[in-house]
C-alpha cells in the first residue's frame, strides 16, 4: 500500500470534540443527549444558561452541569471558553476536501489507497453481527409495509431517489420525501397507516428529518434510520437504526458504504418476495420491448371506439 506522508494541518485544538469523542461511549443516555445537543448547537450554547440548555434538551439543569463535568470541564464557563476557541476552526465541506487532499499530498495513488482503506473499514461494519441483526429487523419492518417512504434531502436526496427507483423495480410501492419547506408538508400528507419510513440522515439534526420522524411517530409508523451514528438525536425515536460510517472524521463524506447498505436491503426484500420482484421486472422488460419495437400502440378503449 502507498503510504502518504502527513503534512501538518495547522489545525488548532478542539478540546470539546476530543473529549466528547473519547468519552461518548461511557456517557449515560441522558448525558449523551446533552452532549449531542451541545455539539450540534455550539453557538447557541455560548449564550445559553444551564436552564436554557436543559429546556432545549428536555432534561434538568443539574443533568446539564453533570454532563459538562463528565466531559472533564469544571463548569459551563470553562466549556464556553473551549467552544469559543474551537468555533474558529469549525470545518466546511470545502475544508474537509482540502484536508483530504493534503493528507494524500495530492497523489492520486495515495488518495485511492486511502479511499479503499476507508471503504474496507466500512464494509467490515456491515459484516458485523450487530449490524446483520439490525439489518434483519429493518427487512422485517419493510417487508410488512404497504408502501415504503424514503426520506433524503441535500446530498442524500440523490441516494434516496436511487433507492426508491430500485424499490419500484422490485415491485414495491414507494414514495420519495425529498423537499424542504411547505413542499415537505405536502409530501408528509401522503403518509398513512401501514406505511414504513426509511430516513437517510447524517451529521447534526436538521428540522426536516425531525419533522418527518415526528409525523411518522404520530401515525405510529415504523421508521428505519440510516445514519453514521447509533447515538444520534434521531436514533432513540426510530424502530431500527442502521449505523453506516461515511468515512473518517473531518474528512470529505463518502457515500459508498451507504449504497452498499441499501443494496443489502434491496436484495433482502427481493429474496423475501421473489414473485413480486420477478413480476415487476417482467413488466419492465415488456414495456422496454414495446419502446424498442417502435410500433404504434393503441389502447383498448381506442380500439373499441
Per-residue pLDDT tens digits for 87-128: 655 556 666 666 665 655 556 677 778 788 888 888 899 999
Question: Does the predicted model carry a pTM greater than 0.85?
Answer: no
More reliable by pLDDT, 132 or 87: 132
For 170-210, how does the pLDDT look when each residue is reduced to its tens digit (9 = 90+)? 888 999 999 998 999 999 999 999 999 999 988 767 889 99
Question: What pLDDT was estimated at residue 266?
Answer: 94
Closest CA to 131 of 294, 245, 6, 38: 245
Q: CB neighbours of 240 closer than 8 A, spacing ≥ 6?
A: 134, 137, 138, 141, 222, 223, 224, 225
- Name the grid cell of 220: 405510529
Fold of 112-286: Rossmann fold (3.40.50)
Instruction: Compute the distance between CA of residue 25 and CA of residue 29 in angstroms, rounded to an integer.
Output: 9
The string of pLDDT tens digits covering residues 43-52 is 788 888 899 8
User: What does the pLDDT read at residue 235?
Assistant: 80
Q: Are 253 and 202 in contact (CB under 8 A)?
A: yes
**CA gap 225, 242 in Å, rounded:** 6
Taking Cα atoms as reference points, which of 146, 174, 169, 173 lies closest to residue 279? 169
Asked if the model's pLDDT at residue 278 lies above 70, the reply is no
CB-CB contact of 64 with 49 (8 Å): no
| pLDDT in the model for residue 118 | 85
Task: Specify the domain boundaries for CATH 3.40.50.10490 within the chain.
Answer: 112-286
Which CATH code for domain 15-87? 1.10.10.10
pLDDT at 39 over 80: yes
Going through 164-246 in order, the beta strands assigned E by DSSP cover: 174-177, 196-200, 223-227, 240-243
Does 245 have pLDDT greater than 90?
no
Query: What was the pLDDT predicted at 176?
Result: 96
Q: pLDDT averaged over the chain?
A: 82
Let me know the angle formed at the C-alpha of 266 by 260 and 270, rounded to the nearest 5 degrees: 145
CA 76 to chain centre: 30
In the chain, residues under CATH classification 1.10.10.10 are 15-87
Helical residues (DSSP H) of 144-180, grouped into ranges: 156-169
Distance CA 242, CA 263 (A): 13
d(Cα 236, Cα 230) in Å, to the nearest integer?
Answer: 8
Are 97 and 103 in contact by the 8 Å Cβ rule? The answer is no
Amino acid at each position: 500500500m502507498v503510504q502518504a506522508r502527513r503534512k501538518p494541518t495547522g489545525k488548532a485544538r478542539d478540546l470539546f470534540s476530543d473529549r466528547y469523542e473519547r468519552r461518548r461511549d461511557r456517557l449515560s443516555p441522558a448525558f449523551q443527549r446533552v452532549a449531542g445537543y451541545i455539539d450540534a448547537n455550539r453557538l447557541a450554547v455560548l449564550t445559553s444558561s444551564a436552564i436554557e440548555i436543559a429546556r432545549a434538551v428536555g432534561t434538568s439543569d443539574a443533568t446539564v452541569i453533570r454532563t459538562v463535568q463528565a466531559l472533564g470541564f469544571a463548569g459551563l464557563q470553562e466549556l464556553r471558553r473551549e467552544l469559543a476557541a474551537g468555533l474558529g476552526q469549525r470545518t466546511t465541506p470545502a475544508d474537509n476536501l482540502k484536508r483530504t487532499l493534503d493528507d494524500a499530498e495530492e497523489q492520486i495513488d495515495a488518495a485511492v489507497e486511502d479511499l479503499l482503506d476507508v471503504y474496507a473499514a466500512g464494509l467490515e461494519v456491515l459484516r458485523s453481527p450487530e449490524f446483520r441483526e439490525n439489518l434483519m429487523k429493518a427487512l422485517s419492518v419493510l417487508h410488512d409495509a404497504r408502501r415504503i417512504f424514503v426520506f433524503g434531502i441535500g446530498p442524500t436526496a440523490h441516494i434516496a431517489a436511487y433507492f426508491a427507483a430500485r424499490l419500484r423495480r422490485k415491485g414495491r410501492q414507494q414514495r420519495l420525501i425529498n423537499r424542504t419547506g411547505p413542499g415537505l408538508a405536502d409530501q408528509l400528507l401522503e403518509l398513512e397507516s401501514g406505511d414504513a419510513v426509511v430516513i437517510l440522515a447524517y451529521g447534526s439534526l436538521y428540522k426536516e428529518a425531525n419533522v418527518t420522524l415526528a409525523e411518522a411517530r404520530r401515525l405510529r409508523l415504523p421508521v428505519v434510520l440510516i445514519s453514521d451514528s447509533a447515538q444520534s438525536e434521531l436514533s432513540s425515536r426510530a424502530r431500527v437504526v442502521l449505523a453506516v460510517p461515511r468515512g473518517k472524521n473531518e474528512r470529505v463524506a463518502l457515500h459508498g458504504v451507504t449504497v452498499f447498505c441499501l443494496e443489502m436491503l434491496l436484495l433482502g426484500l427481493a429474496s423475501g418476495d421473489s414473485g413480486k420482484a420477478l413480476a415487476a421486472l417482467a413488466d419492465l422488460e415488456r414495456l422496454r420491448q414495446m419502446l424498442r419495437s417502435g410500433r404504434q400502440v393503441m389502447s383498448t378503449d381506442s380500439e373499441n371506439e
